[in-house]
Amino acid sequence: MTDVEPEPVLTVRGLSTEYATDRGQVRAVRDVSFELRRGERLGIVGESGSGKSALALSILGLIEPPGRTVAGEVWLNGRDLRTLSEARLNRIRGKEISVVFQDPLTALNPVRRIGPQLAEAITMHQDVGRAAAKQAAIELLDDVELPRPADCYRRYPHELSGGMRQRVMIAVALANAPDVLIADEPTTALDVTTQAQIMRLIDKVVDERGTAVVLITHNMDLVADFCDTVQVMYAGQVVERGRREQLLSGSAHPYTAALMVSVPSLDTDRAAPLRSLEGLPPDLAVEHTGCALAPRCVLGRERERCRSESPAMTAVVGDAAWVSRCHFAGEQHRLTMETTP
Amino acid sequence: MSRFLLTRALGAALTIVGASIAGFVFMRLLPGDPARLIAGEHASDEAVELQRQALGLHEPIWRQYLMYVSDFVTGDWGFSYSRGEPVFDQFVNALPATLELAFVAVGTALTASVLGAVLATWSRGGVVDGLVRASSYVGLGTAPFWLGLLALIVFFERLSVLPGPEGRLSPGVAAPLRVTGFHLVDALLAGQWSTWWDAVQHVLLPGLTLGFVLYAWLVRMIRASMLEFVREPYALVARSKGRGRWAVVTRDVLPNALLPAITASGLIVAELLTSTVLAETVFNWPGVGRLVTDAILQQDFAVVQAFIMLSAFVTVTATVVTDVLYSVADPRVRVRAT
Ligand SMILES: Nc1ncnc2c1ncn2[C@@H]1O[C@H](COP(=O)(O)OP(=O)(O)OP(=O)(O)O)[C@@H](O)[C@H]1O
Ligand SMILES: [Mg+2]
**Cβ–Cβ < 8 Å for B214, B201:** no
* Residue with CA at minimum distance from ligand 1 atom 3: A19
Per-residue pLDDT at B80 exceeds 90: no
Please tell me the predicted confidence (pLDDT) of residue B338: 43
Q: Which atom of ligand 1 is nearest to the CA of A47?
A: 25
**Does the beta-carbon distance from A93 to B232 stay under 8 Å?**
no
Residues β-bridged to residue A238: A233
The closest ligand to the CA of A48 turns out to be 1
**Residue nearest to ligand 1 atom 8, measured at CA:** A54
Q: Among candidates A75, A73, A83, A93, which has minimal Cα distance to A32? A: A73
Cβ-Cβ contacts under 8 Å, B249 against chain A: none
Radius of gyration of chain B (CA): 24
Residues contacting residue A101 through CB under 8 Å, at least 6 positions apart: A107, A169, A184, A185, A186, B233, B236, B237
* Helix (H/G/I), strand (E/B), else coil: B60: coil
Which residue in A53, A41, A33 sits closest to A6, CA to CA?
A: A41
CA distance, residue A320 to nearest chain B CA (Å): 33
Are B241 and B252 in contact by the 8 Å Cβ rule? The answer is: no
Cα torsion through B100, B101, B103, B108, rounded to 10: 140
A29 CA → ligand 1 middle, Å: 9
Q: Please tell me the number of the ligand nearest to residue A45's CA.
A: 1
Selection from A303, A304, A321, A313 nearest residue A233 by Cα:
A313
Which residue's CA is the closest to the ligand 1 atom numbered 4? A19
Give pTM, 2 decimals. Answer: 0.84
Q: Do B242 and A86 touch (CB under 8 A)?
A: no
Nearest residue in A to B232, CA atom: A106
> What is the domain partition of chain A in residue ranges?
251-265+272-341
Nearest residue (by CA) to ligand 1, atom 5, is A19
Domains and their CATH numbers in chain B: 88-297 (1.10.3720.10)
Q: What is the DSSP string of A81-130?
A: GGGS-HHHHHHHBTTTEEEE-S-TTTSS-TTS-HHHHHHHHHHTTS---H
Identity of the residue in A62, A87, A106 whose CB atom sits nearest the CB atom of B240: A62
Q: Which of B302, B39, B76, B55 is nearest to B294 (CA)?
A: B302
Q: For residue A272, give the DSSP letter.
A: P
Tens of pLDDT along chain A (341 residues) come to 445 667 899 999 999 999 999 988 999 999 999 999 999 999 999 988 899 999 999 999 999 888 999 999 999 999 999 999 999 999 999 999 999 999 988 999 999 999 999 999 999 999 999 999 999 999 999 999 999 999 999 999 999 999 999 999 999 999 999 999 999 999 988 888 889 999 999 999 899 989 999 999 988 889 999 999 999 999 999 999 999 998 888 889 999 988 887 655 444 444 444 556 778 888 888 888 899 999 888 888 889 999 999 999 999 877 788 999 999 998 999 888 887 66
If you write DSSP's letter for every residue of B173-188 in order, what string do you get? Answer: PPPPP-SSS-HHHHHH
In whole angstroms, what separates CA A124 from the centre of its chain? Answer: 25
CA pair distance A164, A146, nearest whole angstrom: 7
* Sequence-ordered list of residues with C-beta below 8 angstroms from that of A289, at least 6 positions apart, any chain: A307, A308, A310
pLDDT at B157 over 70: yes
Three-state SS for A196?
helix
Helix (H, G, I), strand (E, B) or coil at A35: strand
Q: Whose CA is nearest to atom 6 of ligand 1?
A: A19
Which helix (DSSP H) or strand (DSSP E) does residue A16 occupy? strand A8-21
Q: Which residues of B touch A91 (CB under 8 A)?
A: 242
B244 touches chain A (CB under 8 A): yes
Interface contact flag, A169 B237, Cβ < 8 Å: yes
Rounded CA gap, B115 and B142, in Å? 22
Interface pTM, i.e. ipTM: 0.90
Ligand 1 binding pocket mutation candidate from A25, A26, A99 (most atoms within 8 A of CB): A26
What is the DSSP secondary structure assignment for residue A227, as one 8-state letter? -
Q: pLDDT tier at B77 (50, 70, 90 boundaries)?
A: confident
**Chain B closest-CA separation from residue A109 CA (Å):** 5
Cβ distance A60 to B240 less than 8 Å, yes or no, reads: yes
Question: How remote is the CA of residue B249 from the centroid of ligand 1, in Å?
Answer: 24
On whether the CB atoms of residues A258 and A274 are closer than 8 A, the answer is yes
Ligand nearest to the CA of A49: 1
- Does pLDDT of B151 surpass 60? yes
